[in-house]
Amino acid sequence: MFEQEIAQKLKIDGVEQSEIAALLEVPKDASMGDLALPCFRLSKLLKKSPAQIANELAPLFDGCAFLESAQTAGGYLNFKFNREEVAKKLIETNAQGEKFASSNEGADKTICIDYSSINIAKPFHIGHLSTTVIGGALCRIFQKLGYKTVGINHLGDWGTQFGKLIVAFKKWGDRAEIEKEGVLALNKIYVKFHKEAERDPSLEDEARAYFKKIEDGDAEAMELFHWFKEITLKEVEKIYDKLKIKFDSYAGESFYNDKMQCVIDILEQKRLLTLDDGAKIVKLDEFGMPPCLIVKADGATLYATRDLAAAYYRKKEYDFYKCLYVVAYQQNLHFRQLFKVLELMEFSGAKDMEHIAFGMVSLEDGAMSTRGGRIVRLSDVLDKAVEKALKIIKEKNPQAQNATQIAQSVGVGAVIFSALFNNRIKDIVFSFDKVLNFDGETAPYLQYTHARCRSLLKKGGEPDLDKVDFSAISDDEGYQTVKAVLAFPDAVKFAAQTREPCVVSRAIIDVAEKFNRFYISHRIADAAENERAARLLLAKAVAQTIKIGLGLLGIDAPEAM
């Protein structure tokens, strides 16, 4: 705030205004002021001591309307803003409504975001939470800044496991049961296949033969293949609805069946392929990586081959500015290899590919494991969170209207937020008590603060702009809240830049904490006439900021709780 205005006044011979602006920083100790100019680097240039420079610059700000003071201290020039001038900005903030913090920096730019990207016939477990909610949040954050986004669910819908699944289904499957039980039933026969195949290896041959049939487009095999897909998608779509996730494309691995040859041709042309025991690989030892396998000896293509084809397809179809892959850090090597091969192929989008890695989610009682069958289904986690939320809400407010609906928003919101509060790369240990703590750094805390503000506005009425006296929100608590609200647009930008939704999460937690501190020490809805309007204006801005922030994360902000 006010960086531009301050830089404009700082006229120093031989130094560009933009260079000076870049030097401005926020003091660590808030009592020093809102912004500071350290004069140490200028010292060399101007051949004067930092203190002397600061002293010479200070008078430039005499009588400056937006500043309370410009004081020198130990080689710094410290600026304190005029708090009422800063608070005035709330009027504009409120007038912007839900457009607050929007921008058009991304106009004409398209960002592809590959996320969630589930595997067909595998249960949707808690391990899929992060990719799904981080990807969804990034889509909305980029949209807020004017980018066009293409959310892609790169389905894992290809591979020999589908041959196994057909064999398993034909031997032990029951159509009605699978229709009813869904993916869990599919997974059950898949697990059984592996057990049985240990005893009877001929099952593997049968599975291979069936997979070949899928590849050849055999009618019966295709029918089953599509049915498995349908069963899986029907189930996950229910979860996507709860999480407010919508994809623009479900083009998964099988979509690229007929799109890999041209990639292989480019690799041949550029002499990047090496024959290795009949397989075609791209050697990467020069870059400190194992080779990238492109075609197996039996002619089968791989995960990486499909990703190469997908990259070319996305560039052609969407002409992306960036192409992001929200995938767990376990696949770091895969993406490093993929991006390197694309670079060697001189693919035009190679520089714009990014792996958005994230850590693992486990439950308090130990890591979840798929192999051992100890799968924690995300739908169960969501249901349980909603159930617990309902109990808490009924305890806190026995008269609550639409308690079930509120519990839905609170329970689901709590789970989403738990995956969006820390830097992506951090592993998370999920605990129901922690995420549902109304006094913690949680979604329920934010929702509760939002509802508190809404209720203040219901009681106190809309702020009367003619009566606003900004001195009523200019003490420390008020001013800190105002500043937290006004910092939100930059937080959204920074979240986009760093691809870290947690920047938004933390920004609104900060707003809520600052506001609650103000709330305990000030009257608002029933404040004296001369103070009420300004305080209601602040409550309104806080509510709006929290609501927008939660919205970006895919979380509801109920009016009342």
Which CB sits closer to ligand ARG, 77 or 310?
Answer: 310
Round to whole Å and give the CA distance between 201 and 230. 29
Locate 80 and state its tokens.
């304190």
What are 61's two structure tokens?
A: 């700000």
Nearer to ligand ARG, 34 or 307 (CB): 307
Alpha carbons 340 and 508: distance in angstroms, whole number = 38
Rg (the chain; Cα; Å): 29
Helix (H, G, I), strand (E, B) or coil at 356: strand
CB of 331 to ligand ARG, least distance (A): 7
For 39-99, where are the E strands, in sequence order? Answer: 67-73, 76-81
> Tokens 């933009």 belong to which residue?
18
Buried b (16+ CB within 10 A) or exposed e, 288-316: eeebbbbbeeeeebbebbbbbbbbbbbbe
Identify residues 319-358 at the interface with ligand ARG (CB under 6 A): 325, 327
The residues that bridge with 13 in the sheet, in sequence order, are none
Nearer to ligand ARG, 157 or 477 (CB): 157
In the complex, least distance from residue 334 CB atom to ligand ARG, rounded to whole angstroms: 7
**Interface with ligand ARG by CB under 6 A: which range of 31-39, 114-122, 410-418, 515-523?**
114-122
- Supply φ then ψ for residue 359, to 5 degrees: -85, -170
Name the residue nearer to ligand ARG (CB basis): 337 or 408: 337
CB of residue 117 to ligand ARG, shortest distance in Å: 4
Could you say which residues in the range 153-212 bind ligand ARG, by CB under 6 A? 154, 156
Residue 342 CB, nearest approach to ligand ARG (Å)? 12
**Catalytic residue annotation:** 122, 125, 128
Question: CA 14, 18, 24, 26: dihedral to nearest 10 degrees?
Answer: 180
Q: Which is nearer to ligand ARG, 306 or 452 (CB)?
A: 306
Asked if residue 170 lies in contact with residue 221, where contact means CB atoms within 8 angstroms, the answer is no
Secondary structure tally for the chain: helices H, strands E: 22, 12
Residue 150 or 310 with smaller CB distance to ligand ARG: 310
Q: Residues 299-318 vs ligand ARG: string with x where CB under 6 A?
A: --------x--x--------
CB of 119 to ligand ARG, least distance (A): 5
Q: Which of residues 12-51 bind ligand ARG (CB under 6 A)?
A: none
Instruction: Determine if 117 is a binding residue for ligand ARG (CB under 6 A).
Output: yes
For the segment 132-161, give every residue that binds ligand ARG (CB under 6 A): 154, 156
Residue 45 to residue 26: CA distance in whole angstroms: 23
Token look-up 């979840």 returns 368
Phi, psi of 208 (to 5 degrees): -60, -45
Applying CB under 6 A, the span of 11-19, 74-82, 111-119, 200-208 interacting with ligand ARG comes to: 111-119
125 binds ligand ARG (CB under 6 A): no
Q: How far is the C-alpha of 552 from the C-alpha of 98, rounded, in Å?
A: 11
Of 63-71, 79-87, 113-121, 167-175, the segment contacting ligand ARG by CB under 6 A is 113-121
Q: How far is the CB of 132 from ligand ARG (least distance, A)?
A: 11
Nearest to 119 by CA among 89, 156, 85: 156
Identify which of residues 147 and 255 has a Cβ nearer to ligand ARG in the complex.
255
Of 24 and 112, nearer to ligand ARG (C-beta) is 112
Nearest distance in Å: CB 358, ligand ARG = 12
Q: Residue 242 corresponds to which tokens in the numbers above?
A: 């709860």
DSSP code per residue over 202-249: HHHHHHHHHHHHHHHT-HHHHHHHHHHHHHHHHHHHHHHHHTT---SB
Say whether 161 sits in a helix, a strand or coil: helix
User: Which of 114, 235, 352, 531 lies at the binding interface for ligand ARG (CB under 6 A)?
Assistant: 114
Q: Is 119 in the site for ligand ARG (CB under 6 A)?
A: yes
Q: Provide, rounded to whole angstroms, the least separation between the CB of residue 261 and ligand ARG.
A: 19
Footprint of ligand ARG (CB under 6 A):
114, 117, 119, 154, 156, 307, 310, 325, 327
